[in-house]
Amino acid sequence: MLLLKLLCLAALGQCELPSPTNVTIISLNLEHVLKWDPGPGSPTGTQYRVEYLHFHKNWSPVKMCLKITSPGECDLTEEFRDIFKSYVARVQAFTELEQSTWSKSSFFQPISNTILGPPEVTVSGCGDCLHLQVKPPKGKRMDHFLAYYESEYICEVLSATDGRKFTLRISGQRVIEYLKPATEYCVTVKMYIGINQHAILSNPHCVFTSLPHLNKVPVVLGLFCLVFLLSVMVWGFLFYGYILRSL
């Protein structure tokens, strides 16, 4: 077998391994991972190296991904630091004596192609309103993203009673007013960036609006009047009894 490989190298300069397949960039919250599958018939011991390219630059090797064995993946988060540029990555299989042709990914722009995970959502009832607080999804690159964009969210509010719903755009926190008291509402939220269509909705957060606050003034006045009337009646009975004893 070794003799055949040496003859192949002498005749052709090199022999080609099966090229990697399904080369794809998976990105969540601006953390990017290149994934691939070994080409059909790849021999045991095959290794892989990764390079990337962006416009007006040459192919650059990814230092941490020059001798990958398994699994077939490479973290490109640090290489794709400019979230507005377009990149492409490629991967090549090799052994001591052979190498494959390069297999490329599709072009990738971090800001528009990353998947934005569901934000952190807190909802509480407040009379005929809901108090909503939203934070961006966690991720080591999300602070870099927020340096360019203010956090904005699309919020959908659904009445569990009659199925009516409405949508509004919010930032950070918001009091949603003019709702029905003592009614259950379910809220789902996702991040909003105009050029990114890959935001994921949060799970529904369902809470009841509170009962309206009771006005205590009429209650206090009513109790005062009741006590006054009872006092008058007691003093009236006592006075009437005193009159009867005096006769």
71-91 per-position pLDDT tens digit: 899 999 999 999 999 999 999
CA torsion 50→26→170→193, rounded to 10°?
Answer: 60
Distances (CA, A) of 202 to 51, 107, 126, 140: 35, 28, 22, 20
23 and 106 fall within a common domain: yes
In a domain, 144, yes or no: yes
Q: In this predicted structure, what is the pLDDT of residue 43?
A: 93
> In angstroms, rounded to a whole number, what is the distance separating the alpha carbons of residues 41 and 18?
7
Q: In this predicted structure, what is the pLDDT of residue 220?
A: 63
> In angstroms, rounded to a whole number, what is the distance separating the alpha carbons of residues 144 and 139?
10
In a domain, 180, yes or no: yes
100 and 132 fall within a common domain: no
- 65, 73 Cβ separation under 8 angstroms: no
- 51, 126 Cβ separation under 8 angstroms: no
> In angstroms, rounded to a whole number, what is the distance separating the alpha carbons of residues 164 and 45?
60
Q: Among 92-101, 153-162, 170-179, 225-234, where is mean pLDDT lowest?
A: 225-234
Q: Give the Cβ contact number of residue 146 at 10 Å.
A: 11
Q: In this predicted structure, what is the pLDDT of residue 227?
A: 73
pLDDT (average), residues 15-32: 93
Domain boundary among 59, 78, 113: 113
Q: Taking all residues of the chain, what is their mean pLDDT, rounded to a whole number?
A: 86
96 and 128 fall within a common domain: no
Number of domains present in the structure of the chain: 2
Q: In this predicted structure, what is the pLDDT of residue 197?
A: 92
In a domain, 26, yes or no: yes
124 and 105 fall within a common domain: no
Residue numbers of the domain that contains 124 = 120-208
Contacts of 62 (CB under 8 A, 6+ apart): 50, 51, 52, 74, 76, 79
pTM metric for this prediction: 0.75
Residue 77 belongs to a domain with what CATH number? 2.60.40.10
pLDDT (average), residues 208-237: 67
In a domain, 90, yes or no: yes
> In angstroms, rounded to a whole number, what is the distance separating the alpha carbons of residues 139 and 30?
8
Q: Give the Cβ contact number of residue 228 at 10 Å.
A: 10
90 and 136 fall within a common domain: no
First to last CA, the chain: 138
Q: Among 102-116, 189-203, 205-219, where is mean pLDDT lowest?
A: 205-219
Which element (helix H / strand E) includes 246? helix 216-246
144 and 176 fall within a common domain: yes
pLDDT (tens digit per residue) in 34-82: 999 999 999 999 999 999 998 778 999 999 999 999 889 999 999 999 9
Domain boundary among 98, 113, 128: 113
69 and 148 fall within a common domain: no
93 and 130 fall within a common domain: no
Closest listed residue to residue 36, CA positions, set 20, 53, 17? 20
75 and 124 fall within a common domain: no
Q: In this predicted structure, what is the pLDDT of residue 15?
A: 61
